[in-house]
Structure 1
Amino acid sequence: MLPLDFSAASNMASSPAMPHDPEWVTVHQHLHSLDPSGQRFATVIRDTIDQLLNGEVTGRYDWKTLFKTEKTHAGTVVEINLQREFKFKDGVNMDYQIQGVDVDCKYSQQFGGWMIPPEAVGHLCLLVWADDYTSRWSAGLLRIKGEWLNRGNNRDMKLTVKAEHRDKIAWLWHNSALPENVLLHMDAADRAAVFAQTSGQARLNELFRRAQRRRVGRNVVRTVAQQKDYMKRVRGNGGARSALRSEGIVIMGDYASHQNIAELLGLPVPQEGEFVSARLVQANLRHAGLPQVFFDGAYWAIASSEDPPETGPILPKPTSPKKVTKGVIDSGRSA
């Protein structure tokens, strides 16, 4: 899994100087003020792809399984969801008005495949690209000039940006990490084992058993469970947390106390709507020097293949305080 690094330093690409285009400067600066790290953009793209896959109903997780009409509609859905997230005003002649500037929005799953309508020439375009297979995405601004476009043969006369002029795109975020589509990137045998289970609960148990130490988003859970009460299937009291505890597997959610445990153990930290599972064991001499955390009455470490299975700890209650001191989380218990 590619690490998610939403720091502005790593994701903001250097942009070509455009000193004579004050509208470009205004839009560029405003977008970065709304989302300095790019995390909000990345989340919208991830959620949009998952929305199109509609895994809860269809069980799909792979872009290639979309119908042609769904793929064609993807650009419109990205455009709508970005507008909802950032509350852009409707444009006068283009899709958006950002700080008083008309901006068109174009999305493509294929880099360079943005379809530019003739009426966009002369306007700023927000060009968005994402690839679920490489878990990368980009978004940049381009002032459309006719001489930079390939001539189209399609009926609506839409054009594409010539490859030699793509360097004119001023990237806001370039080749940044897209939250992983866990089902798509799982080992094929592990994925088959998940979907071989006959009930939603059993599939979720197998998912968290086989996709350990990875962020698993709500949409993945929805796709695997294919049940309206899918979140209930993760929790204790009969959910995956209860079922897997006997194997030592703990499922951390987006609660502060759970995030603290994940961070102290060196695991990916689950963000909003995410889970991270890992098999834990009570720490002993074999774990000396490895990350450990104290909760539920003992010090716990991530299990290795040499550690025999043992019953895992009970996670702190979601209402527990955030404070953690020297790897110790002193809080109540929850299922």
Structure 2
Amino acid sequence: MDNLSDSDAALTAVAEQLRQIDPDGTRWAAVLRKTYDMIYNGQETGRYRWDQLMKTEKTHFGTLFEINAQRVFEFDGGIETDYRIAGHQVDAKWSQADGGWMLPPEVFDKLALVATGSDAESTWSLGLIRVTSDVRREKRNRDKKSQLTAEGRKAIRWLWRDAPLRPNVLLQLPRETVDHIFDSRYGTERTNRLFRAAEGMIVNRNAVATVSRQLDAQKRVRYNGGARSALQPDGYLILSGVYHRDLAAALGVPVPLADEYVSVRVVPTDGSDSIELEGRRWRQVRPGEPVIEPAPKLPTS
């Protein structure tokens, strides 16, 4: 079967418009990250995994995805579909399972913007398909929804396929480690455990809020009683994407964005592969190397 999307002028126009407004897909990736974080509602619930959601919440993910995309890209509203893009009717469809999109009659013969992703694998995909009778199969249910056939899934024009999603550190750590983090009854201690366990890994502010479950979650990171103070005696710096990106780059750890942190243990050094803080040179600790001095204090501006 030929890829039917190749000869669809409207689909091509929509694809070109989507590429034009987000050439590298970072804005779509941000929509997916935000939607996952909203549906977990970690600060209030402590949840961070898809399997912790109720069935109704999983169903609601697609609606949140549609709304968040509309807020970011400001698409015109469609008549029977969610959006009008490049002058054409386009309906947004999400499925956590790749290929599992449910297609109602109102999208038949129209364009569908199909999306899927995996928070555990930190990937997402987004493509376009015209939902013709050649690519869909009927479902025997009351609302007459269809799904794409195997050939229909092959006909999707993927704009981004298995693109990187900003990672959820709580899904990257071993489950037993995360269980230990949550085992404490105190939000401050849970935050300390997070930054110990996630040394050298990007930690998003949402992960901090999920772990601390307190209103001023970011206060649990700062000095004056937060994780920076608690972990300083063991040589930890907790670098902020607002103030310390240059320090992270110089130390050779992942460079955090504005809403991210990264923790790193340091020791004094005379070498050039180092940073200067409080009048001394410091470098990242090497595997198995003991930390014998507290970390220096970070500048906050």
Q: TM-score range by the shorter chain?
A: over 0.9
Q: Match for 1:78 among 54, 60, 65?
A: 65
Q: Match for 1:269 among 255, 260, 283?
A: 255
The equivalences for 1:121-270 within 5 A come to 121-255=108-242, 257-270=243-256
- Alignment of 1:312 with 2:295, yes or no, is yes
Q: Match for 1:110 among 97, 114, 130?
A: 97
Distance across 2 between alignment mates of 1:122 and 1:164: 16
Distance across 2 between alignment mates of 1:159 and 1:225: 43
Cα pair 1:249 1:278 within 8 Å, conserved:
yes
What residue is the counterpart of 1:302 in the other structure? 284
SS in 2 for 1:146: coil
The equivalences for 1:3-18 within 5 A come to none
Cα pair 1:105 1:127 within 8 Å, conserved:
yes
Q: Percent identity?
A: 42
Cα pair 1:152 1:159 within 8 Å, conserved:
yes
Q: 1:188 to 1:157 in 2, by over 3 A?
A: same
Cα pair 1:296 1:316 within 8 Å, conserved:
no
SS in 1 for 2:262: strand
Query: Aligned Cα RMSD in Å?
Result: 1.7
Q: Match for 2:27 among 37, 40, 55?
A: 40
Structure-2-length-normalised TM-score: 0.93
Q: How far off its partner does 1:149 sit?
A: 0.8
Distance across 2 between alignment mates of 1:71 and 1:245: 40
The one-letter code matched in structure 1 to 2:276 is F
Q: How far off its partner does 1:212 sit?
A: 1.0
Distance across 1 between alignment mates of 2:171 and 2:192: 18
Q: How far off its partner does 1:17 sit?
A: 8.9
SS in 1 for 2:218: helix
- Alignment of 1:31 with 2:18, yes or no, is yes
Q: How far off its partner does 1:111 sit?
A: 0.3
Structure-1-length-normalised TM-score: 0.84
The one-letter code matched in structure 1 to 2:248 is A
What residue is the counterpart of 1:52 in the other structure? 39
Deviations 1:179-225 (A, max 9, x none): 21211221223212211222111110110011111111121111101
Q: Match for 1:292 among 271, 274, 280?
A: 274
What residue is the counterpart of 2:83 in the other structure? 96
SS in 1 for 2:244: helix
The one-letter code matched in structure 2 to 1:88 is F
Deviations 1:281-312 (A, max 9, x none): 1125xxx68x4223332222111221324211
